[in-house]
Structure 1
Amino acid sequence: MTSLLPASRRSVREPGVERSDATHRRPLVLLATLAGAVAATVTLVVCLAAGVVGWFLTDAGAHGAPRDGLRVGALGWLMAHGSGVRVNGVHVTAVPLGLTLLCAVVVWRLGLRLGDSVSGHGPDADAIADGVRDWTVGSATALFTAGYLVVAVVTDRLAATPSTSPSLASVVVRIVLMCGLVGGVAVAVGSGRAAIWTSFLPVSLRAAAAAAWRILVWYAVLAAVVLVVALVVDWDGAVNVMSQLHTSPGAATLLIGLCALLVPNAAAFSGSYLLGPGFAVGTHTLVTPTAVVLGPLPMFPLLAALPDAGPTPGWTVALLALPPLVAAAASYRVLRRYPTDRWDDAALRGAGAGLLCAVGFAVVASLSGGAVGPGRMAQVGPFVFQVLLHGIATFGVGGLLGSLVATWRVRRG
C-alpha cells in the first residue's frame, strides 16, 4: 500500500526498497485468478477431508468407498454456496451457514492479501483523489470471482449425479455475490483504495455504517448466547435424542459436527425469535415469545432448544426488550467516536444505523432457512419480511436512543 501514499509523504528510498516494491507490481491477472482459485480450493479440501473422515466414522469403512466420502464432501461444499441437493428424492435447500461463514472468512483473508499485492497497480493516491479512473479493484475482483467459479464448476461436474442434482445456477449467483461483496471490499481495503474512497463520504454516513455493523455483531452474539442458554436449560432433551438414535461413537461425532455447522442457522432463528416474528419448524408451526405451536419434529439434538408448545410464560415477553437495548448500547459506543452536537444529525445517524442493521439481519435470516425434509419440513426458517419490519422498528428505536444519548453527552461536556 506504500504506492498509494502521496509523493510528499514518501521517505527517501533506500537501496533495497525498489526491489521490495516490485512485489506489488506482479501481473494482476495471474494474482487475482490464482487467489480466487486458492480461496475456493482451501475450503473445498477441508470439506473433502471431512467427507472421507465422516465416511470412515459411520461404519469404519465397511460400506462404500473413499470416493463416496469425497462426493459427499464436495456436495456439502456446493450446498454451502446455495446449490441444494436431493436426498432420496427429497429436495434439501437449507444452507449450512457455518460452512458458508468459513468460505466468506477465507475469501476475506485472501482478498486482503490480493489487495496488498495489487496496490502498486493503477494510479497513485494523488491521481485517485484528483478523479482519475482506477479499475484495479474492479478488475481484481472480477478475476478473483472467475477463479473461484472455475473451481465451483469443476466440482459440480465431478460430484453431481442425476439423483442429487445440485443447482449450478444457484451456486454461480451466490459465488458472484460473495466474491463481489466480501472479496471486493477486502481487495479495496487491502489495496488502500477503501481509505481514499471513504474519505469523500459524509461523516454521518460513515458513522451510521460503523454503528450498524457494531449493532449487527452485538446482536448476533446476543442471539447465540440465548441459543446456548436455551440448549443448556433443556440439555437432558438433547441427550435423550442422542440416546434414542442409538448411534455409534463415530456416528455421534459426525452428528455433533453437523450440529456445529448449523449453529449460525440456529442463532439466526434465535435472533428472529427475539425480534418478535419468530420462525417456523414445519408447515403451520410458529415459535415466538408469545405463542408456540409445534408439530412432530425430527430427532435432531439442536431442536431441544425449542420452547415447549402451548402458552408461554409471562417473562418471555420481556425478551423483546433485549434487541433495542443492544442496539442502543452499540450505537452509543460507536457514535461517541463520531461526535456531533446537532440533534437532527444524531437522529439521522442512529435511525440510519438501525435501518442498515435491520436489512443486514433480514438477509442473514433469509439465508438461514429452507427445506430440510419431505412434507411439512419443506418450510423451516424465520418469517423474513416480518423480521425486516420488526428489525427496522426495533433497531431504529435503539440506534436512535443511543445516538441521542451520545449527542447529549457531547453537548453536556
Structure 2
Amino acid sequence: MTERGTPLSAAPRAGVRRRSPAAAACVVGGAVAAGLGLGFLAVLVIVLWISSPYPDSGPGGALHLAAGLWLLAHGTELVRYDTLSGVPAPVGMTPLLLVVLPVLLMRRAARLGSAAEEDDEEVLPAGAVFSAVLCGYLAVGALVTVYAAGGPLSADPISAAWHIPLVAVLAAAAGVWGARGRPLGPLPSWLPKGVRNAVVRPRYALALRAGAGGALVLLGGGALVVGASLAWHGAEVQASFLSLTGVWSGRFAVLLLALTLIPNAMVWGAAYALGPGFALGADVTATPLGFPGAPGLPRFPLLEALPAAGPGTPLTWAVAGVPVVAGLAVGWFAVRRAREVSYGETALTAALGAVVCGLAMTGLAAASAGPLGSRRLSEFGPVWWTTGVAAFAWTAVLAVPVAVAVHAWRTRPAIGPAAPEGDEAVAVDDRWHDSGVREIRWAAMRKAAGALIPDIALPPVPPVVPADSVAPAAPVGVPGRRRAVTVVSGLDLDPGLLAGAAGPVEAAASAPLAPPVVGARVLARRKPPPE
C-alpha cells in the first residue's frame, strides 16, 4: 500500500494506461507512413494507366503493379511468371531513387513519435517509439506482400521477409536518433566498455566524415562519367528513347524509369572508374580495360551510354582520376586541426576513413545490382565485394600519405629569426611596451590612416635621457611613484612625422625603423623583481 492507500500494483498500470495512447499513436504513424508511400505509387500508376491508349489490364492490375513497385522500393525481389519462355523471370534490381520515399516517410514517423506536441504530454522512451512505429509499418508491409501475390509481379516471400524490416529498422533508428539530438553516447550497457569508450573518440567521427566524403566523391565522379558518356552517345540515346513508344504517356513512363535509375547509374559509373566495372549479363563485364560487347541487351536510353566494344583506350583509362580524387579527399578530411595529434593517429584515422568508404561502396553496389530476368540477364550491375575492396584499396593507398603530409604542413613551425631568451627577452619585451615606442607607432598609424583616426591629445612625454640609461620619472596622474623609461634606438620615421605630436620624441626619429619580424613569439611581460 502507498501513503494514499493505492495498491502498489496500480502504479505501473496507471503508467501503462498513460503511455498507451502515445504508443498507439506511434503504431498508427508507422502504418500511415507505409500507406502514404503506397498511395503515392498507386496514384502515379493509375494516372499512367488512365492516360495509356492501350491499357491491357483493369484498375486491379494497376493496383497490383503499384503494390509490386512499393515492395521493389524496399529491395524485395519480384517474380514475373507470364514470360514467353514460360520460365519465371526474377526482377531484383531496385531503383535507388524509389528507396528514398519509404525511408523519408518512416524517418519522419519516428521523429514525430519521439516528440511531444504539448508540454504536459509524456514522451515515450526511444525503444518504445522505435518498436511501435516498426510494428505499424511491418503490419502494412505484410498485407501488401499478400496482396501483390495475385498481380503480374508477385513478391518473393523470403526476400520480402528480410528486405522490408531492414529498410524499416534503419529508417526508424535514424528518425529516433535524430529526434534525440544525434547523440554519440551513451551506448547500451550490454556492449563492452572498450567499445563504448572507443566510439566517442574524435578519431571515429573524423573517420566517418572522411569515408563519407570519399564515397560522395566517388558517386560524383560516377555521375560525371555517366553524363559524359550520355552526351558522347547523344544520338543513340535519343533514337532509343523515341523508338520504345510513340505516345506521350509511354514516353513519360520511360522517362520516369530512367530518372529513378540515375542513382544506380552513378554507382555503376563509380564501380567502372574503380576498375572492377559492372556485369551486363552472364560472362560480360564492362571495365576501363575493355568491353566485349553485349548484343542481347534490351533497348533503353541509359544502356546506350555503354562504351564501344573492344579494348580500352586512353579515354576510358582517364576515369582512374575519380578514385585518385576520392583518396585525396579522404586524406584531407582525416586530419584534425590540433598540434597535439601524432602522425600515427592521423594515419590510423585515414585508414579507418578508407574502411568506411569501402563499406559504403559495398552497400551501394549491392543495392544497385540485381537480376532483370533469367539466363543472360540474371546478372546485372557491379559485384559488391570487388567494388568495396577496390574502393578501400584506392583510398587507403592515397589517403594515408596525404593525411600525414597535410598534418605535417599544418603543424610546421613558424619560419623567422630565433626568439630571444632570458634577460634579452625581458629587455625586448620592455622596449616593445615602452610608452615612447607606443607614441611613435601611434603617430605612424595616424599618418597612414589619414582622417580615419581623429586627433587625440597625447599625454606629456617624459624627458629624454641618454641611450642605455635609466632616469626616474613620475607617471602622469600617479604622484609619488617613479618608473624606468627606456629609450629605444633603431627607429626610422619621417622627420616631420612627429613635428606636432611630441617635441622630445624627435630625437628618436632619425634612426632606421626595424623591419617587421616574421614568425616571432609574443612573450608575456614580466614584472621586475622587487628591490
- The two structures have a TM-score, normalised by structure 2, of 0.66
Higher helix share: 1
Which residue of 168, 178, 184 maps to 2:173? 184
Q: Which has the higher contact order (CA 8 A, sep 6+)?
A: 1
Provide the C-alpha distance between the structure 1 equivalents of 2:101 and 2:325, rounded to a whole number of angstroms: 30
Provide the C-alpha distance between the structure 2 equivalents of 1:399 and 1:190, rounded to a whole number of angstroms: 34
Q: Is structure 2 residue 275 aligned with structure 1 residue 285?
A: no
Q: Is structure 2 residue 158 aligned with structure 1 residue 159?
A: no
Counterpart of 2:77? 84
Structure 1 residue 329: deviation in Å? 2.2
Provide the C-alpha distance between the structure 2 equivalents of 1:401 and 1:245, rounded to a whole number of angstroms: 51
Where 2:90 maps in the other structure, the secondary structure is strand
Provide the C-alpha distance between the structure 2 equivalents of 1:397 and 1:101, rounded to a whole number of angstroms: 33
Where 1:280 maps in the other structure, the secondary structure is strand
Structure 1 residue 299: deviation in Å? 0.8
Q: Is the 8 A contact 1:328 1:400 kept in 2?
A: no
Provide the C-alpha distance between the structure 2 equivalents of 1:207 and 1:338, rounded to a whole number of angstroms: 13
Provide the C-alpha distance between the structure 1 equivalents of 2:238 and 2:253, rounded to a whole number of angstroms: 15
Larger Rg belongs to: 2
Q: Is the 8 A contact 2:330 2:350 kept in 1?
A: no
Structure 1 residue 287: deviation in Å? 0.4
Counterpart of 1:242? 241
Structure 1 residue 196: deviation in Å? 4.4
Q: Is the 8 A contact 1:339 1:406 kept in 2?
A: no
Where 1:194 maps in the other structure, the secondary structure is coil
What is the number of equivalent residue pairs in this alignment?
376
Deviations 1:54-98 (A, max 9, x none): 2123326x5432232221111111111122222223221211211
Q: Which runs of structure 2 are paired with 1:117-136 in the superposition (5 Å)? A: 117=116, 121=123, 136=125
Structure 1 residues 107 and 228: alpha-carbon distance in aligned structure 2, compared to 1, 3 A threshold: farther
Where 1:165 maps in the other structure, the secondary structure is strand
Structure 1 residues 211 and 113: alpha-carbon distance in aligned structure 2, compared to 1, 3 A threshold: farther
Q: Which runs of structure 2 are paired with 1:220-235 in the superposition (5 Å)? A: 220-235=219-234
Q: Is structure 2 residue 100 aligned with structure 1 residue 106?
A: no
Counterpart of 2:400? 400
**CA RMSD, aligned part only?**
2.6
Counterpart of 1:71? 64
Counterpart of 1:29? 23
Structure 1 residues 165 and 276: alpha-carbon distance in aligned structure 2, compared to 1, 3 A threshold: same
Structure 1 residue 298: deviation in Å? 0.7
Counterpart of 1:58? 52
Counterpart of 1:147? 136
Letter in 2 for 1:346: T
Q: Is the 8 A contact 2:238 2:301 kept in 1?
A: yes
Provide the C-alpha distance between the structure 1 equivalents of 2:106 and 2:334, rounded to a whole number of angstroms: 27
Structure 1 residues 139 and 175: alpha-carbon distance in aligned structure 2, compared to 1, 3 A threshold: farther
Provide the C-alpha distance between the structure 1 equivalents of 2:40 and 2:216, rounded to a whole number of angstroms: 26
Q: Is the 8 A contact 1:54 1:69 kept in 2?
A: no
Where 1:259 maps in the other structure, the secondary structure is helix
Structure 1 residues 117 and 231: alpha-carbon distance in aligned structure 2, compared to 1, 3 A threshold: farther
Q: Is the 8 A contact 1:142 1:180 kept in 2?
A: no
Deviations 1:365-395 (A, max 9, x none): 0111111123201111112221121111112
Structure 1 residue 277: deviation in Å? 0.3
Provide the C-alpha distance between the structure 2 equivalents of 1:360 and 1:35, rounded to a whole number of angstroms: 30
Where 2:70 maps in the other structure, the secondary structure is helix
Structure 1 residue 195: deviation in Å? 4.7
Identity of aligned residues (%): 25
Counterpart of 2:309? 309
Q: Which moved more, 1:339-348 or 1:305-314?
A: 339-348
Counterpart of 2:213? 214
Provide the C-alpha distance between the structure 2 equivalents of 1:302 and 1:235, rounded to a whole number of angstroms: 11
- The two structures have a TM-score, normalised by structure 1, of 0.83
Structure 1: 5+ residue stretches without partners: 1-24, 123-135
Structure 1 residue 197: deviation in Å? 3.4
Where 2:108 maps in the other structure, the secondary structure is helix
Deviations 1:86-144 (A, max 9, x none): 2223221211211012322333333333333499647xxxxxxxxxxxxx323322222
Provide the C-alpha distance between the structure 2 equivalents of 1:153 and 1:173, rounded to a whole number of angstroms: 11
Letter in 2 for 1:237: E
Counterpart of 2:157? 168
Q: Is structure 2 residue 293 aligned with structure 1 residue 300?
A: no
Q: Is structure 2 residue 21 aligned with structure 1 residue 39?
A: no
Provide the C-alpha distance between the structure 2 equivalents of 1:331 and 1:107, rounded to a whole number of angstroms: 35
User: Displaced runs of 4+ in structure 1, greater than 6 A?
Assistant: none
Structure 2: 5+ residue stretches without partners: 1-18, 83-87, 188-195, 414-531
Letter in 2 for 1:368: S
Q: Is the 8 A contact 1:219 1:327 kept in 2?
A: no
Letter in 2 for 1:185: A
Structure 1 residues 193 and 99: alpha-carbon distance in aligned structure 2, compared to 1, 3 A threshold: closer
